[in-house]
Structures are given as C-alpha cells and as structure tokens.
Structure 1
Amino acid sequence: MLGASQACADTHQVARPRGDSAAFVAGVQEAVAAGHYELVFGGNDDWMAALSAYRDHLPTRVAHPDFTVVQTALDKVDLTEHAHRVGLAAPHTIPATEAALRG
C-alpha cells in the first residue's frame, strides 16, 4: 500500500482517509482483496489513525493499536501529559490557543 517503497511489488489507489471515510474503507477493502494482504499499516499519521479507527470494517489485521491509543499518541499535549505522569522527559507543550500564539 506504500507506493513510494521500492520493496512494494504492487500499489493500490485508495481515497485519502480525511473526508470520505466510506471511500477510504472501500479502497482498503478492495486493495486487501486484490493483494490478499494479511496486514495493513499506515505510512503517516492520517492513515495510521484511519486504519485504527476503521479496523472493524477491514478484512485483515491492522498493525496499529486501538484507536484510543493512537489518538493519545497523536495528541501531542495529551502525550506530553502522559509522559510526565510516568516520569519521562518531554518538551514543553501547550495547546495552540489564540493567547499562546500571540505569545
């Protein structure tokens, strides 16, 4: 599914996950059926989140954790808070509110 990789023998056109989720799910289903894939994974944040969110609609395994875990990992403020709670260092991170952007 990663058309940019030279390790891929086949590529499939799948609708982007943002916008029309039905077209995305249908595209992944068609690609899995055509390639007989045992596993799918996203090559960027959007694809990882979408595959995780729609895993119950896909005819194969998804190489990402449950959607709530993916959401936490992609929410940098939430991820930073989790890191601090377990004693990990993390960069200072705050929501991009209007006040924060003004400085």
Structure 2
Amino acid sequence: MIAAESQVTHIVAEVIDSVGVIVPDQHIEIQFDVQGPAKTIGVDNGDLWSIESYTANYRETRDGRCLLVLKTNGEGKITVTATGGGLKSSALILNSY
C-alpha cells in the first residue's frame, strides 16, 4: 500500500465456520482495532436499513460479511484486528510505504 492521503484499502470481514464456509445467517457485531499509520474512514455491511454509524470502529455483519475502509497517513506496519460475538479474533498486517 502506498502511503498517500488518497490511498484507501477495503477489507472484507467474513464469518466462517470450521471448514471455511461463510455463515450467511449470522448477524454479529465485529469490532475493528487499527494500529499503525492508518485510520478508519468507513464501515458498511450493505444493509440499507441499518442505523449504525458509517464512521464507527464496528459493524454488524449482513449475510456473514462486513466491510472496513482504511486510509493511510504515513509509512509503516498497519495491524487490523477483528473481534466480536465470541468468535476467534483475526489479525491482518499491511505495510504502507
């Protein structure tokens, strides 16, 4: 990822079962923790009726998925951790340069 104000990254969080299949009927609030030279600029799940804030650090899944949009603000390692609903947490490491 290039460290420029105009660079954004879309990260899709999916609720999956023990064999890796998406679980579409789960509505679980996923919380995102972003560490490093990036900030959250949006979250979404495609639900037009949702009243959740688009600028929060959490989103309820719809059809087993939700979206996090990040914007870089410098160079370095970015760690995104997703947790929620008693599920195993997951982390993604990105490099901004």
* Higher-helix-fraction structure: 1
Q: Which has the larger radius of gyration?
A: 1
Higher strand share: 2
TM-score, with structure 2 as normaliser = 0.27
